[in-house]
Structure 1
């Protein structure tokens, strides 16, 4: 097999890639139940030599391509769900569903993965092993990858001759508007942060606003807790193993002359190691409870666990960076100096098998990445010229992992 032809083959598939991307973009769906999107994916895979498993707990699709020679399995992942935003891009294929938009580029991921399945299927006899295409719902906070794993995603059956074909590597792409088209970036180790939600309910004793001495006012206590959480981060957390604690909502009271019974504080915790994640959880609970106690109130801290740290395996990250340099040229490939504090549920996959998430540039050369609307903006526009690069990278990573030269 000549790996040099894959770019041309990806370009030949560009019309299909664009058509599927725009079809999905027009009909975005949220969460783990994506029937319209799944039907579009299945239609795009028709006629390919794939063993397809439809997951039951979600709309996940696992499609397995078995090569002509025995070998291990490599997993390629594309997520499919959208965000609850009202699109304002003005694109010809803008969302037709009110309040829902593919603002994170998952429509491009799905389309690129489908075209990669077509490309690799054309080389089925030359593949030593298997490729597992993971079309995943529910990435935007709904733990779709976790559900697919629990349903047996990695339980790949033996080959026909009884030879085992375990999943030995995983690769995912994520398009981003902060990198120009034609460039990619990743790093070994922590690549993206964990993301947990916290809620602190401060219980006081309400009363008339003119007589605060007859009450236990939870509002200033809540304010003190917010300030103390920031002090906690700067004084209790190692700056070289950082954390971000952000309060996004404070709510209390009903009108100007009533001291409320309860004040609520809600926010997010981001860390890049599981050790610091646990430490922040412990510190937050103690700070909130003890400050409230000092003022005669009580606090109920609740932490809702989100995604773990997305940690790329060092050797696999080096492999993906080297592969990308061969494909794109060294000037288009960058090793990230620091993790990104966003979160990803591909972290669940990387907790099970070695792999890498790589960021794919998605802003056209005519636009300035410094001012281009970011992922999760209802104005974000991703350059479709980036997609052949993504299709080729999916194929290159799979084939090189399986030993093709």
Structure 2
């Protein structure tokens, strides 16, 4: 009851605090939008974030250049005594992450007052908004520290779009320190198979999406994002004159055969109930119409939601591609560049975020997504291969009347900036609920919203606790 009372009192202040921050959040987002930086080059972005953090009373332990990247972290510690729902001997710690890199794309918003000032670079995936939302949540939580006991680890992550900044930050110890697994040595890369001394209990992130209207969020429990593996296939044949194909081994012909056969292989060898996408997207070979080249290159990508299926397809498909090439007396060298792991949202944590957002924004503010994405997202590296509860929710930013409808990665992608206070508020409310109650029991890894230990009688119904955002002008 004491926790419920504290949570209710804190929640009643979140929306007003977020609304008061809205002008600052807009200014932060627009500054970042006008000065975007590509993956691994977020130097001024990181400096700007650090400056913003140092303005806030209650922000502690600011760390920069994490693992040699532009990533940075800070802590917000609650000051409420005796409200620690853990037996670990330490305060519970929630990681909240915002990525901060931009895309190599020309900003198409020619008439926008905050159009990118950097030629060929723009925030067309909304990472500027993600940073603004986390900075907003930090300001809210520092003002509500007396209502919770625990630590919020705020992570500003580089290089989501390319090289996987999350993996490098994990390897640098953001989640805790790593020790070698039995019979293995640690190296400077991501410590696959290592045993972490984990100091994080759950991880949370958001992504702005024009598939969802502003003022709402969308959640998905279970599989949400796919793994990503990039294929590079070098087909080696025998060069010669195009008029004498019988004296050569044409790798272009073999490559075309591989594209057809390998794509069809999945439909015959993988169940239609196991979600996967295999797309071969480039073929490069040859220099002149009358020359049969000696080699040809193919590239493509594999996406799955299941790690065991991912491994099985990669192994079996590699063997099949090599066999197809040998049938034409050629050779195929298959190189697979392992990308992001698949992303799964913990059911109990999804319920917590959904309940917090419903109480904050109203009963119609939370949409439940039916299908997972086949795109990839490196936030889920913070799950340590699904051992740490993670949730990424979609933050609605669409406004059809204002023409804000273009998808992420479109040159004209934009957001209704009203979403900034919504994202900040949901981040903060979810953190407060996490520290006051912990995760609902009986739901870890399940696909059901039933079984929560948090009854309405102990903490009030969603309608009782709902406190609505004052309307802000559309910008």
Scaled by the length of structure 2, the TM-score of the pair is 0.80
1:193 alignment partner in structure 2: 226
1:5-404 alignment to 2 at 5 Å? 5-48=13-56, 49-50=58-59, 51-54=61-64, 55-68=66-79, 69=81, 71-90=91-110, 91-155=112-176, 166-351=199-384, 352-366=387-401, 372-403=405-436
Question: Partners of 1:166 and 1:216 in 2: how far apart?
Answer: 57
Quote how far apart the aligned CAs of 1:368 are. Answer: 7.0
Say if 1:73 and 1:165, in contact at 8 Å, map to a contact too. Answer: no
Quote how far apart the aligned CAs of 1:198 are. Answer: 0.4
Q: Deviations over 1:92-121 (max 9, x none)?
A: 111111111111000000011011111111
1:160 alignment partner in structure 2: none
Say if 1:20 and 1:40, in contact at 8 Å, map to a contact too. Answer: no
Question: Partners of 1:283 and 1:377 in 2: how far apart?
Answer: 36
Question: Partners of 1:138 and 1:79 in 2: how far apart?
Answer: 8
Say if 2:230 and 2:339, in contact at 8 Å, map to a contact too. Answer: yes
Quote how far apart the aligned CAs of 1:367 are. Answer: 5.3
SS of match in other structure, 1:376: coil
Deviates more, 1:167-176 or 1:64-73: 64-73
Question: Partners of 1:318 and 1:241 in 2: how far apart?
Answer: 25
Say if 1:181 and 1:365, in contact at 8 Å, map to a contact too. Answer: no
Question: Partners of 1:256 and 1:363 in 2: how far apart?
Answer: 49
Quote how far apart the aligned CAs of 1:56 are. Answer: 4.1
> Which one has a larger percent strand, Structure 1 or Structure 2?
1
Quote how far apart the aligned CAs of 1:398 are. Answer: 0.5
Question: Partners of 2:55 and 2:148 in 1: how far apart?
Answer: 18
Say if 2:229 and 2:301, in contact at 8 Å, map to a contact too. Answer: yes
Question: Partners of 1:286 and 1:271 in 2: how far apart?
Answer: 19
Say if 1:225 and 1:287, in contact at 8 Å, map to a contact too. Answer: no
SS of match in other structure, 1:330: coil
Alpha carbons of 1:364 and 1:143: their partners in 2 closer, same or farther (altered >3 Å)?
same
Q: Deviations over 1:59-104 (max 9, x none)?
A: 1111101111363111111110111111112221111111111110
Say if 2:175 and 2:382, in contact at 8 Å, map to a contact too. Answer: no
Question: Partners of 1:398 and 1:392 in 2: how far apart?
Answer: 10
Question: Partners of 1:184 and 1:30 in 2: how far apart?
Answer: 27
Deviates more, 1:293-302 or 1:234-243: 234-243
Question: Partners of 1:253 and 1:231 in 2: how far apart?
Answer: 25
SS of match in other structure, 1:135: strand
Deviates more, 1:375-384 or 1:100-109: 375-384
Scaled by the length of structure 1, the TM-score of the pair is 0.94
Aligned residues: 396
Quote how far apart the aligned CAs of 1:237 are. Answer: 1.2
